[in-house]
Amino acid sequence: MTLANLLSESQIVPELASKERWSAIAELVDSLVESEKISAADREDVLLSIRQREETMSTGIGFGIAIPHASSFKVDEVVAAFGRSSGGVQFESLDGEPVFFIVLFVVPKDQFQTHLRTLAAIAKFLNDRAVRGDLASAPDASAILRIFESRSTR
């Protein structure tokens, strides 16, 4: 499984409207509802799961990256959304800096190994400074998706 397999253009927000953590998370969950990866009826439950996880420790891991995530009975497969903010989102990151790239994902409950593998794959992908540079300069969701696709084959 690669990030490219988890994303479609409708799950990519090329410029987040939100400037703070909770509204950015909601904006990305809304993209999952709009792309029918999460039902509208399950939106609040999924948001609550992510919020509970996020309150234990911020998933703003540094280098302008955040990876909010949770497990939930409301999904049958891993679902993900990507958001970019040129101005930065205040995310209470571990380094105290704003976040420019957010990958949100939800895995089915009781799939701990899948959860860890997904988290590791995202962190490894975004750890590459060249990838972050390419994502920062991509003009739209289509170009962002192409970056995920081209980098996942390397």
Residues with a known catalytic role: 69
For the chain, the C-alpha Rg in angstroms (whole number) is: 14
* Phi-psi group of 115: left, alpha or beta (phi > 0 → left; psi -120 to 50 → alpha; rest → beta): alpha
- What does 71-138 look like in DSSP terms, one character per residue? EETT-SS-EEEEEEEEEEEB---TTS--EEEEEEEEEETT-HHHHHHHHHHHHHHHH-HHHHHHHHH-
Q: For residues 49 and 52, give the distance between their C-alpha atoms in angstroms, rounded to a whole number.
A: 5
